[in-house]
Amino acid sequence: MKQVMLDLGLETTTAVREIACGEQPQQRMDTFGVAALSDTELIALMLQGGAATREIIDCASRLVAEAGSLQGIATWQPVDFERHQGIGRVKARQLAALNEIARRMIRPASTEQPVLNRPELIAHHMTPFVQGLEIEKFWVMCLNRKNRLKKLVEVTSGTATSCLAHPREVFRAAIREGAVAVVCVHNHPSGDPAPSAADVQVTRQLREGAKAVDIEFLDHVIVGRAGTDPTGRGYYSFREAGVI
């Protein structure tokens, strides 16, 4: 028990009170299934695979309370977890890795690639990729003659407020994949998809670059969240705006 407390970074003088067997998260999971566990219990199991002490339950409860929900925790990076007493560097990395695994697992896995010729379809397809991201990423969708996705390529990964892509990086990927047309997509972590001046400038550069390599530039879509988008749509299309 002392070693468990040391691993969690807790004071060894704290009186550890074991949760009754019937209240143990792992016991409840064995009896009722994982869906029966609360958010706090799920986090507690991630923090400690063995017996869940009261300290571990309390730590898990604090995490959920600060994040507001499991969805909030899904946006956390290792540094966010490490701020909490009881979570060391190794565990923080494991939890952040679990977040990324969850994001990747919910991405579309259809055997037939989707047709991506309208901004709402593009935004819907990309939502699982941008969910929970706190930095901007820029992708190029390489399409075939029927506007079906051949391959999604991540071009750049930036900061919380900036992720610019140069046309040569975009069209190098498109040429490598044999794309007939491309759609560019990037996310705004703030949730508001309204374009910045830099976004407009990059889009114009991409428009001219597409002409030079004879690849159709269908659209550049910024994906945000409907709840923080003044238009309520959660995305912005440069084609709809007349820039392309």
For 104-143, the pLDDT digits (tens) are 777 665 556 788 999 999 999 999 889 888 889 999 999 9
What DSSP character marks residue 76?
-
Give the CATH number, domain containing residue 152.
3.40.140.10
Specify whether the CB–CB gap between 136 and 162 falls below 8 A. yes
Shared-domain flag, residues 91 and 18: yes
Q: Residue 9, Cα to own-chain centre: how many angstroms?
A: 29
Total-model pTM: 0.60
Q: Give residue 56's identity as a one-letter amino acid code.
A: I
| Residue finishing a domain among 73, 105, 137 | 105
Local confidence band at 14 (pLDDT 50, 70, 90 cut-offs): very low
Same domain, 147 and 185: yes
Report yes or no on 113 lying in a domain: no
Q: How many domains does the chain have?
A: 2
**Nearest of 48, 125, 113 to residue 87 by alpha carbon:** 48
Sheet with 137-143: strands ordered across: 149-157, 137-143, 181-187, 216-223, 235-237
**Rounded CA separation 207/244 (Å):** 6
Handedness of CA 117, 118, 124, 127 (dihedral sign): positive
| 235: β partners | 223
pLDDT higher than 90, residue 194: yes
Q: Is residue 66 part of a domain?
A: yes
Are 65 and 168 part of one and the same domain?
no
Statement to judge: residues 221 and 123 lie in one domain: yes
Q: Is residue 28 part of a domain?
A: yes
Summarize pLDDT for 49-105 with one digit per residue, the tens: 555 577 888 888 888 888 888 878 887 888 888 888 878 888 889 888 888 887 777
Which run of H or of E encompasses 168?
helix 167-176
End-to-end Cα spacing for the chain:
64
Q: Are residues 126 and 223 in the same domain?
A: yes
Question: CA-CA distances (angstroms) from residue 182 to 65, 130, 150, 171, 205?
Answer: 42, 19, 10, 9, 14
Both 16 and 100 in a single domain? yes
Q: Give me the domain span that covers residue 228.
A: 119-237
pLDDT > 90 fraction of the chain, expressed in percent and rounded: 45
Looking at the fold, whether 36 and 87 belong to one and the same domain comes out as: yes
